Every structure is written in structure tokens, then in C-alpha cells.
Amino acid sequence: MGESEGEGNRTYGHKPFKRSRSHFADRITADGRDGWPVEAGRYRLVVSRACPWASRALVSRRLLGLEGALSLAVADPVQDDRSWRFTLDPDGRDPVLGIRYLAEAYEAREAGHPGGVSVPAVVDVPSGKLVTNDYQQLTLDLATEWTALHRPGAPDLYPRALRAEVDEVMEGVYRDVNNGVYRAGFATGQEEYEEACAGVFRRLQRLAERLAGQRYLVGDTITEADIRLFTTLVRFDAVYHGHFKCNRWKLAENAVLWAYARDLFQTPGFGDTVDFDHIKRHYYQVHTGINPTGIVPLGPDLDGWLAPHGRERLGGRPFGDGTPPGPVPAGEEVPAVPA
């Protein structure tokens, strides 16, 4: 998400939407087969808390206890014409990488590279070069290749016995929900919009039917599939319902999905990574092609996220045989949702 558009921020809604493939698809693996071995302290994860794709990595990193092994850089949610920038840090520079823009790590890897500058991104600290921006593979590798650095009690987010089912569920979630809301929001014509919007709600209804009788999407524990659905659901009423015109109903109006989303939000590792201020300011202020005034709405009311969800009655064990993650590391806290 968040490719460097320059003039492009004003073109959203005026040109056909097509999500770019990740140009840098190297993998960081236990055996280092792509030249990037798993190594504590070597890499820096660059995210925006506004971005649902980057938020997957934030949740995974917390659940797996990788905070001490994989450092974190948080970009300003409002981009300029060079895309993601480190204006939240002193002097406008990332304190570890020493750069003002994520684009500098991209250029260090490949000058004049095609495509834009997106998050999540992993940068090699010693060289300052981008390693990967492959948002689809990154979290799977955190779950399966970084196991030597997982905390004691870390959950298995991509259990081998369930991978075929997890992959199948994630494919539908990605096509119709994760990406579907963007296809609706950036549509250039009525027919294109209606097709995408209908697909979003058709899939959400199928997911609600699935989740009516089970606590999590696959098996009885949290998996990668839940992480990927959550990062869209948590943004739904705040931005996708209004800004992207996905307004057949609000998440809070669907009893099953609203309870499921609250259940995850209240689970350590999920809600404690969410910054609604960053989310709202990014979408409403950056996408000037579909919100030319840049006005950020006051709502929705966030109080309900901490209301009882009642999903415990379905059983399930959030972390399987593991344990919840510890406290959020100092400096990584996000504003608390009103109780």
C-alpha cells in the first residue's frame, strides 16, 4: 500500500485501479537462500499504522514476540510526493537508518527501480538497502522462517496441517475484502464500483456465516487468516464505509463480524497495534482524488471496540498451547481507545 504517486494522489477515482505486485520479493529465511539470513538486530521493519498490509506485520511481530529481534520504524501517515517519510522522528530522520524517506532505501537497493514505494518494507540496517516489500509473503516468513527468534509461548500462526485451508480462506479474503474495498473506493465508473462493492459484501456475508459457529476462521486458534481479515475489518467503519463507499451496512451492524472483530481487537497483539488517528488521517488526507477537501470526519464513535463480545462461548484457544504476548514495548504504544 501507499506507493509513491506524486500527482497520483489526486488521480484516485479518475483512473482504473490495479494493485501493483511487489517488485522486491527477496525472502529472509532461516537458511539465507536469497542472501538474507534471519538474524536478530540486522533488519528494520518499516510500517505505516495507517496501512492494512503493514498492519499485518505489526500484529504478527507482536504475537510472535519479535520486537527485540526486528526493530520498528513508523512512517508519517500523511505522505508527500516522495511517499512515506519519517517526520514523526526527531529531525525528520529514522534514528536507525538515518534517512528521511523510505524511498532512499529503495534507491540504495536499485536506482531508478520500477513501481512505487510501499509498506511494509524490510531494510537491511548495515547496508541501508531494501530487502523486501512483498507484503503477501512477509508475514508468512515471520511465522515460519523466524521461529528460532520467536518468544517462548509464541502461537503457530500458519500451522502446517491447516495451510491448505488457511490459504484458501485467505485467497477469498484478499480478492474480495482486503483488495475489494480498494477496487470499490478507487472505481472510475458506476458498473466497476457496483461489482466491487457487491463482491465485498457477498464475501463478508459468507465469512459471517462461517464465523457464526466457530471463533476463528480456521481451526480453533488464531491464524494468519484472522490477521488478514482483521486489518480490513478494523478500518471498515472508520474509512471504507464512507470514504470508499462500501456502505451497504456498517461492520457494527453485522452482529457476527462485529463481535468477531471486537474479540480480536481485545486480544493482546491486535488492538494494541491500531492507531485510528493515523488510519483516518491517511485515507482522508492523502486520497485527494476522492476526498479533495482533505476533511477528516469526526466519527465513528470508538467506544464499542471494548464492549463485551461474547465469543468465548464458541470455545477456541487464541494462542493454542502458547501464551499472550507481553506488554507493548516502550515507544511503540498507540493511543488508547476510550473505555
106 catalytically annotated: no
Strands (E), 52-158: 71-74, 121-124, 129-132
Choice among 12, 106, 182, 193 that is catalytic: 182
CA-CA distance, 142 to 66, in Å (whole number)? 9
Residue 3 above 70 pLDDT?
Answer: no
pLDDT of 23 reads: 83
Annotation marks residue 284 as catalytic: no
Residue 259 clears pLDDT 70, i.e. is over it: yes
pLDDT in tens, 232-255: 999 999 999 999 999 999 999 999
pTM, entire model: 0.95
Distance between CA 193 and CA 150 in Å, rounded? 42
- To the nearest 10°, report the CA torsion of 165, 170, 171, 174: 170
Q: Which of 51, 106, 135, 246 is catalytic?
A: 51
Q: What is the pLDDT of residue 298?
A: 96
Backbone dihedral angles phi then psi of residue 76, each to the nearest 5 degrees:
-60, 135
- Smallest CA-to-CA distance from 158 within 215, 216, 224 is with 224
What is the per-residue DSSP string for 159-213? -GGGHHHHHHHHHHHIIIIITHHHHHHT-SSHHHHHHHHHHHHHHHHHHHHHHTS
Residue 6 has what pLDDT?
A: 42
Q: What is the pLDDT of residues 121-175, one digit of tens each?
A: 999 999 999 999 999 999 999 999 999 999 999 999 999 999 999 999 999 999 9
Residue 19: name the closest of 103, 133, 122 by CA.
Answer: 133
Distance CA 113, CA 115 (A): 7
Distances (CA, A) of 170 to 27, 55, 164, 217, 277: 20, 16, 10, 10, 27
